[in-house]
Structure formats: structure tokens, C-alpha cells
């Protein structure tokens, strides 16, 4: 399933697997990273060296600006930079990543699905959704399993399902488009204390 494309922003060759890149490509077109997607969508420009350093001799050098995004778990600032190690970050720390991963078994499956839906804010057919999910998830899956994972989010009104055609389509409820998905998964997937669950 590997193939290479050219990033529309920096012209870097990209492989459509790993690091969530299949999500980015499916949703928006060919970007090598979250950084380049945001750089393009926000209409950012390279920073001239003279402006960056205040020294005329750096005029011929251009620099990629930092792009700040909120951590998916705590909302603190995550600074994206244009390099392979820091251009796709979504959590501010390992602690915040682990908070999602460990709140419930397989919680990262939920996070990955919600992220796909958020990054592609239109209706997605179950086959396309399963294909993208399988390309970024390190576990075997199929359309039945994907639908099963989505059922809990549909019941909470976070994901919407369109049954008008022979095969269902899904999208993230627009009012959750700007939510911190890590925090959302922690909130809804962390097991409730036994005494509290009896009140439901």
C-alpha cells in the first residue's frame, strides 16, 4: 500500500503510511505532515532571515515559522516545527499521550477514528473510513469492527451516522470539530467507579 507523493507545500517526498499521514492525505490532499497542512491552510509565509535575526546579511535565508497548536489532552501549547521529528506532534508530552492510551484498553483506536473524522469534515463511507483506519492503526480491522467502535460515539451524539444509502456514512458532529479529542476520549472512556455506575 506504500506509494510516494510530493508535499504540496515543501515538495518533500512522502510515503502514505505511518505518522497519521494517510489521515492528512485522505482529508486534505498531499501534505507530508500536520505542519505543512496548517502552514498552507493558515496562509503562512517563510520568515526572511534579516527579519528573524535583525541582521541584513541573513536576508537571503528563509526560515519556517513555528506553528502553535493545543495539546489534544490538556490544551497546552504544542509547537510544531518543520522537521521530521516535530512536524506531526499532537500531544505536549509523553504523559498526555499515555493519559489517552491508558484510560481504557484500546482507547487509541477511538482516538484514531475520531481524528480521521475530524480531519475530514464531510460524510465518509464505511469502506473509505475502514481503509484509512487500517492504514494508520497497528491492528487488524474491518468494516464491522469499525462500526462497532463508532457505536458508542454515535450513542453519545459525538459521531453522526447517515443511513440513507445502502452503506452507512459517518462524520464527526460539527459542534465537536474544535474539541480536544484526547480529552474527549479520556472523559468518555475512563471507567467510572462502581458506586457511580450504579446511579446511571
Residue range 129-171, pLDDT digits in tens: 888 888 776 667 889 999 999 999 999 999 999 988 778 899 9
132 vs 70, residue with greater confidence: 70
- The pLDDT of residue 188: 94
Distance CA 200, CA 194 (A): 10
pLDDT above 70: residue 17: no
Q: If pLDDT is split at 50, 70 and 90, which confidence band does 180 have?
A: very high
The answer for residues whose C-beta is within 8 angstroms of residue 91's C-beta and 6 or more apart is 71, 72, 73, 78, 97, 100, 182
Topology annotation, domain 94-192: Arc Repressor Mutant, subunit A (1.10.10)
Q: Enumerate the β-bridge partners of residue 169.
A: 125, 162
- Phi-psi region at 11: left, alpha or beta (left = phi > 0; alpha = psi -120 to 50): left
- The pLDDT of residue 141: 84
Domain limits, the chain? 4-80, 94-192
Residue range 81-137, pLDDT digits in tens: 988 666 778 999 999 999 999 999 889 999 999 998 998 888 999 988 888 888 776
List the single range of 49-53, 64-68, 152-156 with lowest mean pLDDT. 49-53
- The pLDDT of residue 7: 85
**pTM here?**
0.79
Sign of CA dihedral 106, 200, 175, 123: positive
What is the average pLDDT score of the chain?
A: 82
Amino acid at each position: 500500500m506504500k506509494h510516494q507523493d510530493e508535499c504540496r507545500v515543501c515538495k518533500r517526498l512522502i510515503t502514505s503510511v505511518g505518522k497519521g499521514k494517510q489521515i492528512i492525505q485522505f482529508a486534505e490532499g498531499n501534505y507530508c505532515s500536520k505542519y505543512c497542512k496548517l502552514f498552507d491552510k493558515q496562509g503562512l509565509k517563510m520568515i526572511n532571515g534579516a527579519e528573524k535575526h535583525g541582521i541584513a546579511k541573513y536576508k537571503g535565508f528563509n526560515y519556517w515559522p513555528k506553528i502553535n497548536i493545543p495539546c489534544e489532552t490538556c490544551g497546552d501549547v504544542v509547537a510544531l516545527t518543520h522537521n521530521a521529528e516535530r512536524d506531526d506532534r499532537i500531544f505536549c508530552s509523553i504523559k498526555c499521550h499515555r493519559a489517552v492510551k491508558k484510560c481504557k484498553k484500546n482507547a487509541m483506536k477511538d482516538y484514531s477514528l475520531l481524528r480521521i473524522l475530524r480531519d475530514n469534515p464531510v460524510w465518509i463511507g464505511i469502506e473509505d473510513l475502514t481503509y484509512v483506519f487500517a492504514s494508520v492503526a497497528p491492528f487488524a480491522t474491518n468494516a464491522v469492527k469499525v462500526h462497532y467502535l463508532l457505536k458508542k460515539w454515535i450513542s453519545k451524539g459525538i459521531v453522526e451516522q447517515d443511513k440513507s444509502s445502502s452503506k452507512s456514512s459517518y462524520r464527526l458532529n460539527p459542534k465537536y470539530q474544535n474539541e480536544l479529542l484526547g480529552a474527549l476520549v479520556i472523559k468518555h472512556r475512563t471507567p467510572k467507579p462502581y458506586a457511580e455506575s450504579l446511579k446511571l
